[in-house]
Structure 1
């Protein structure tokens, strides 16, 4: 035996590594549990059959979400590198997929930070209900100072300084490294998030009218199960909420000890993420039930998602609810914590790739990625047009960036380079969940078909109706342009040669017995 069982391999010490399986699981949960769990899932469930949505949701989790999570884990854990390096170590022809994912993560990072900055400000706004009687007017007029859609580079100081603080905090975490930065942040933040959001849910359940909201969310519409769109919504929600398909889980898996149980870990992460989504649904709709009853309207009239839920509906609830300030601090504080742990995972995909490609130090790569990302983020998203650019980039990068690269990756790995048997063997070497033919069928057929349907449906919708009626030039530039730019970047970056000292062969496993 060349080294003590359970010891950290030399290469892991050079790249950084999670200190234990527990820390890895918390970091993976921190990445998966983000803003979408809180402000997207409740509304998607409500709109797609209520309680009946649980059935397609669980089917999607078991047939696409967790199997794809296993695929990401296998690529990263076997390749022991960033997304591009792990793909290259699987097959030289697939490296471009990794860089495509890196480009997507860079795009996401620069706008995701802005939403966290808004949540930071709203945490303090909650103390004195600064939005007054018009939360929507306050958001777009007073706070964001948004004019008509277009590109205006007038700075908004109220967004500029919290956005700068968010980026300083993230860069400090990234410089600290995998163990002392990402791992330590997850170990602290995830328990705090669960406690804070759990307290919010308990408080919301005791609001007058809470049962009205819960009835609206959980009353099953069994007829909805016959609609293809409901099943597509379930697959789309699972996919977007698990942080799969765009390099995060590949990168995180590369920081785990070679003998870690990856399939057991994946099952824990998948079900923990879904459990938090259910918790979010209960808390959000209990609060919406309160505001519906208080205003004498149906829940359907106050139910919304995204920015409207977080920055318009919840401020209204906070203004009218008993102990509203407490609800506001818990809600927006939870958004900040969930956002930070997700942003850290997104930017780590880029930093890890730059480190591997150019053999840079952790500090050098963190600054080389973090500083330009922060500058671009501040220039575009602390301005009067920031909210419109953010909305467009987010929509197109999610639909035609993440979804597209995920479908292409599955098809290439399954049919192009025939890598699934190799990856299944790797997972089975230390996994507690046996990977067999069922997994290869799901990854080769079921998941690509389901996600392909979601993507094609979104594509046809956007061709038929311009997204949110934004000017065509903005959609072409920041929407379709962003989605195309990350593809071009991915395959140009793959043409840059690796340094001679970088091995493109899989890292040999030098341990013989179980690790963490």
Structure 2
């Protein structure tokens, strides 16, 4: 009994160790509630607030929900469940879980690790921007509400009626471009560091470090606040928004169906990319979080509940955002298309402009930017937790003893901070957009989704994996997931590749990057994708034996995984 107990604790370590060596304890979530809140913090982030509502409005209103729900059922939920259950079953992070399932496919984990690293580097810059806006909100007059500031130009106007002058710019745009960013003419002109932004960036990294410096013991406690507080802010903003004049028009534009948009391939691409990005799949983070679960945790029900909560949050956030944009449209006497924006344009231009027109603008500005900060903060440090878990699980006897895991975390934070500093220079926004458009785009995510489905559905075997899941949760899930992994998800992924249209990145649809800028973007994109073929070839070449023997060994699971019954 003692030998079996010890073996269960180790959960089949995959790294060679001496027979007498003792694997350090990885730790587990103190309760199921901590796991759920950590997952909520991870998958519910800025994309739910500033991307989904705009995509819904742009792509046919309520009709956009058709491709969105379709991809949710065929890609989002199946891949989400696959990754969480894989981490729980193997007790390993985003890299070593694939080594136990199918060593040849471990490149998926390395590619996901690079995606996580890129995301950590650029995602936190958004928090630095929001933090500076939050600090600026504690003034008697919001600084972006007027043109009486040192950074304003003679072309500044305090209204959105740009017809007053061809060269006119609104006060909120000048605050964003001249006060916050100090935006240069292009990536060729990086300029100097914006030290106030750099200070905010440093503060964000310090916060993230101490949120997870003790692993799930600390992060599991922090998420009680960071995962729930944004919902309080969202409810407050929703109640305020729907009571404003013009709110009904904004909501109508948000959901008014336009069936003709379904014939546009871009609508389907937008729906798929939103599902993959907002569900945080194909990066290894979900597997890392799932690896800290009890083995008998019902991850099947968890996956469905979390995915539905994510999508419901996106829809509700749309009401909160577009009710306010409808109010701004009503006050200015312009169409909703004029004021509706996505991404940073929504969070740092459109919404602040609307807030400045409300009674008690400072209060609503503080609420909004606190919501943005906490939505991004827990996503950031949970990504960071997944990143460190993936690395430390490769060498547990080294990183999980003493303070080495904390030093690893510190090293990741310092390197990411150093690279992030180039995004808070005067040309930093151009670098930020390269990361956002190329490094963490939908194409690598779609490719990894196909590879994961093929690995589980065909190489390891969907039936065998279902038996492993039944061994964990006590019953076999509905066969729908199995058929998605084997047939539907790979087919949908290949179809998306055929619909994809590559368009070079342009800032504000006007600035064209230099050739080396596009080269840097393509390097960021292919650096993650290339991990799979590189590892596949390396594994075949470095393993003694014939090609046939190496292929057979490369697809053989670890001995610790139970066979189907």
TM-score by length of 1: 0.89
Among 300, 313, 336, the alignment partner of 1:276 is 313
Judge conservation of contact 1:103–1:490 (CA < 8 Å) in 2. no
Task: Tell me the equivalent position of 2:519.
Answer: 477
The answer as to whether partners of 1:52 and 1:222 remain within 8 angstroms in 2 is yes
* Residue of 4, 9, 19 corresponding to 2:30: 19
Question: Counterparts of 2:264 and 2:121 in 1: how far apart (Å)?
Answer: 36
Alignment pair present for 1:347 and 2:384? yes
Q: Indicate whether 1:37 and 2:48 are aligned.
A: yes
Correspondence 1:260-409 to 2 at 5 A? 260-358=297-395, 359-361=398-400, 362-378=405-421, 380-397=422-439, 398-409=441-452
Larger displacement relative to structure 2 (393-402 or 242-251): 393-402
Measure, in 1, the Cα distance between the counterparts of 2:369 and 2:59. Answer: 26
Which residues of 2 match residues 133-212 of structure 1 at below 5 A? 133=158, 134-151=171-188, 152-180=190-218, 182-212=219-249
Work out whether 1:130 is the aligned partner of 2:183: no
Task: Provide the rounded CA distance (Å) in 2 between the counterparts of 1:490 and 1:321.
Answer: 52
| Change beyond 3 A, Cα 1:456–1:243 | same
Is this contact kept in 1: 2:105–2:532, CA < 8 A?
A: no
- What displacement does 1:493 show? 7.6
Q: In the alignment, which residue of structure 2 is the partner of 1:505?
A: 558
- Conserved? CA contact 1:264–1:433, under 8 Å: no
Normalized per residue, which structure has more helix? Answer: 1
DSSP-derived class of the 2:348 partner: helix
Contact 2:104–2:535 (Cα < 8 Å) also in 1: no
Q: Verify the 8 A CA contact 1:232 1:453 in the aligned structure 2.
A: no
Please tell me whether residue 422 in structure 1 is matched to residue 471 in structure 2: no
**Contact between 1:205 and 1:287, CA under 8 Å: does it hold in 2?**
yes
Inter-CA distance 234–80: structure 2 relative to 1 (3 Å threshold):
same
Partner of 1:173, secondary structure, is helix
Note closer, same or farther for the CA distance 1:77–1:202 as it changes in structure 2 (3 Å cut): same
Identify the residue that residue 54 of structure 1 maps to in structure 2: 65
Q: C-alpha separation between the residues in 2 aligned to 1:121 and 1:507?
A: 51
Residues 64-89 of structure 1: CA distance to partner in whole angstroms, max 9, x if unpaired? 21111111112211221111100001
Q: 2:296 maps to what in 1?
A: 259
Cα deviations across residues 7-45 of structure 1 (Å, max 9, x unaligned)? x95669811221122211111111000111110000111
Segments of structure 1 that go 5 or more residues without pairing to the other structure are 498-503, 510-516
CA pair 262-146 structure 1, distance change in 2 beyond 3 A = same
Which of 250, 262, 269 aligns to 1:213? It is 250
Tell me how far 1:282 sits from its aligned partner.
Answer: 0.5
Kept in 2, the 8 Å contact 1:263–1:433? The answer is no
Tell me whether 1:66 sits opposite 2:103 in the alignment.
no
Q: Specify which of 273, 276, 279 is matched with residue 236 of structure 1.
A: 273
Q: For 1:429 and 1:303, how far apart are their aligned partners in 2?
A: 49
State the 1:321 CA deviation: 1.2
- Name the SS for the 1:15 alignment partner: coil
1:83 aligns with 2:94: yes
Conserved? CA contact 2:277–2:442, under 8 Å: no
Contact 1:127 1:328 in 2 (8 A): no
- In our comparison, the structure showing a higher alpha carbon Rg is 2
Show CA shifts across 1:155-203 (max 9, x none).
11121000000011111122121122x2112112112111111111111
Counterpart of 2:492 in 1: which secondary structure?
Answer: helix
- 1:444-491 superposed Cα distances (whole Å, 9 cap, x missing partner): 332233344444544x3326x767553242443331011122344667
Distance 1:264 1:178 in 2: 22
Deviation, structure 1 residue 508: 6.5
C-alpha deviation, 1:433, in angstroms: 8.3
Within 2, Cα distance between the matches of 1:226 and 1:45?
A: 15
TM-score w.r.t. the length of structure 2 is 0.82
Asked if 1 retains the 8 angstrom alpha-carbon contact of 2:89 and 2:472, the reply is: no
**Residue 221 of structure 1: CA displacement?**
1.9
Q: Are the structure 2 counterparts of residues 462 and 448 from structure 1 closer, same or farther at C-alpha, using a change threshold of 3 Å? A: farther
Give the distance between the partners of 2:208 and 2:252, measured in 1 at CA: 40
- CA shift, 1:63, in A, is 2.2
Residue correspondence of structure 1 range 433-472 to structure 2 within 5 A = 434-458=476-500, 460-462=501-503, 468=509, 469-472=511-514
In 2: Cα distance, 1:433 partner to 1:44 partner: 38
More displaced 10-residue stretch of structure 1: 433-442 or 235-244 = 433-442
| Residue in 2 that maps onto 1:512 | none
Question: What SS does structure 2 have at the residue aligned with 1:127?
Answer: coil
Instruction: For residue 226 of structure 1, report the CA deviation from its aligned partner.
Output: 4.6
SS in 2 for 1:81: coil
Q: String of CA shifts for 1:94-113, please: whole Å, max 9, x gaps.
A: 11110111011111111111
| Offset from partner CA, 1:409-435 (integer Å, 9 cap, x none) | 3234334x2443232222233448853
Aligned partner of 1:410 among 453, 458, 473: 453
The offset of 1:492, in angstroms, is: 6.3
What value does the CA root-mean-square deviation take over the aligned residues?
2.7
Give a deviation string over 1:289-316, Cα, whole Å, max 9, x none: 0110011011111111001101000110
3-state DSSP of counterpart to 2:244: coil
